[in-house]
Amino acid sequence: MVDLALRMLLHDRLRFFITVSGVAFAVNLILSQVGLFFGLISNSSVIVRNIPAEIWVTSKNTPNVDFAQAFPEAYVQRVRSIPGVQRADNLIVTFLNIHLPNGATEGTVTYAVEDFQAWNLPWKLESGDIRDLRRGNFMFTDASAVRRIGAFQAGDYREVSGVRMRYAGRSLGATSFTTTPVSFMDYRLAQRMNSNLLEGNTTYILVKAAPGANIQALKAEIQRRLPHNDVYTRNEWAKRSDDYWIKNTGIGLNAYLTVALGILVGVVIVAQTLYTSTMEHIKEFGTVKAIGGSNADIYRLLGRQALVAAVLGFAIGALLTLAMEPGVAAIGLRLILPAPVWFSVALGTVFMCLLSAGVSFRKVANIDPGLVFRS
């Protein structure tokens, strides 16, 4: 079979290159922006999603996991007494200051529980033994903090909020949306270091449900017994934390605008090049009609050209995005692109290119085959 659509495309290689480049650029723009968006947002709730607590109790109207507010730690006893609760523990999240060797001070968002292993905190260690946190003034800080607080390793000392602390090790993957370093220390130590706020107080209660327990019913019962607190399932709480940053920082709007811009660029470039190509080949399309071809034959031809541009453009755009990953990681960011995103962008690219070809469809629908008789 003679593939006239492809041959026409390849006959003018510069135009073909421009078309495919336009699609690839649009795909790369969309994938990188969506990937960065997911990467940033995942930072805001990565800890919530890694703690095996089905239910979180927070103070009233806490906006996100990092901006914790205190409430009496004894409330945990009420939760423990509820049937269906397998385990409930207090969790303190508080800001402390690390004094750096260069004289600067850097904040750290610190997570403190009594039993780190029970709550899978931190879930990945680069060095050290998490049990050391119970032995005194020890802390873990995430390895990603190097960009903010400089090099550190297990055994180093730092002054943290006026207390001389020793690093027991480094965790991996524990991040915050604001890139503030994440640290871990013993629950009672954290209370002492921020005693004005935390003496006798906690900031969260983590709840693990008994096997087979109805999570929604358990949540409702905890809410009934702690009417001055908020109670969330893990997904609700993670989403609340994510939504806070999406709505309050403009990152969501920025992502939407960039995706829209990518689509616009793609549509305009593909539509423009396909339309110009159609106009240049108008006599050929007229010939197709004169020898008995129908509008549908020409639509198929243009549709195939759009499809080829979409498939090649997507492949190149996707490869460019993957090639960006090491560079993005080098500046402390992540591209997170789940399979549904790849699938949606691929489908969207095909749709975008076919939509662009639609402009040319209108033109060829009105071609007069008699034009082939004109010189």
Q: Enumerate binding residues for other proteins (CB under 8 A).
A: 1-2, 4, 7-8, 10-11, 283-284, 286-294, 297, 369-370, 372-373, 375
Specify the residue, 252 or 369, whose C-beta has the smaller distance to other proteins.
369
Specify the residue, 307 or 372, whose C-beta has the smaller distance to other proteins.
372
Specify the residue, 84 or 369, whose C-beta has the smaller distance to other proteins.
369
Find the shortest distance in angstroms from Cβ 349 to other proteins: 25
Q: How far apart are CA 335 and CA 30, in angstroms?
A: 12
The answer for residues whose C-beta is within 8 angstroms of residue 323's C-beta and 6 or more apart is none
Find the shortest distance in angstroms from Cβ 307 to other proteins: 18
Find the shortest distance in angstroms from Cβ 258 to other proteins: 37
Helix (H, G, I), strand (E, B) or coil at 355: helix
Find the shortest distance in angstroms from Cβ 304 to other proteins: 13
Specify the residue, 114 or 284, whose C-beta has the smaller distance to other proteins.
284
Q: Which two tokens stand for residue 137?
A: 């003034």
Find the shortest distance in angstroms from Cβ 362 to other proteins: 16
Taken as a whole, the chain contains a residue count of: 375
Q: How far apart are CA 158 and CA 302, in angstroms?
A: 67
CA distances from 31 to 245, 298, 308, 368 (A): 20, 32, 20, 42
The answer for residues whose C-beta is within 8 angstroms of residue 58's C-beta and 6 or more apart is 68, 69, 203, 204, 229, 230, 231, 232, 237
Find the shortest distance in angstroms from Cβ 353 to other proteins: 20
Specify the residue, 129 or 368, whose C-beta has the smaller distance to other proteins.
368
Q: Tokens 């990953």 map to which residue?
A: 325
Specify the residue, 239 or 300, whose C-beta has the smaller distance to other proteins.
300
294 φ/ψ angles, rounded to the nearest 5 degrees: -100, 175
Strand 157-160, strand 85-99: pairing: antiparallel
